[in-house]
Amino acid sequence: MQNGYLHLIAKQRDEILGMATFSLKGGFGGGAYLELMIVHQNARNLGIGAQLLQRYEEYTSESRGGWFALTEVTNTGGQRFYKRYGHTVVGTLDGFAGPGRSDLVLFKARK
User: What 8-state DSSP symbol labels residue 63?
Assistant: S
For residue 1, what pLDDT is reported?
55
For residue 24, what pLDDT is reported?
78
Higher pLDDT, 3 or 64: 64
Long-range contacts for 69-72 (Cβ within 8 Å, ≥24 apart)?
Answer: 69/33, 69/34, 69/37, 69/105, 69/106, 70/35, 70/96, 70/97, 70/103, 70/104, 70/105, 70/106, 71/103, 71/104, 71/106, 72/97, 72/101, 72/102, 72/103, 72/104
Domains and CATH numbers, the chain: 5-108 (3.40.630.30)
For 106, phi then psi, to 5°, come to -115, 145
Task: Tell me the per-residue pLDDT of 31-76, one tens digit each, with 9 for 90 and over.
Answer: 899 999 999 999 999 999 999 999 999 998 887 788 999 999 999 9
Task: Tell me the per-residue pLDDT of 14-29, one tens digit each, with 9 for 90 and over.
Answer: 999 999 999 877 667 7
Strand order of the β-sheet with 102-108 is: 5-12, 15-23, 32-39, 67-72, 102-108, 88-94
Q: What is the mean pLDDT of residues 82-102?
A: 93
Higher pLDDT, 66 or 11: 11
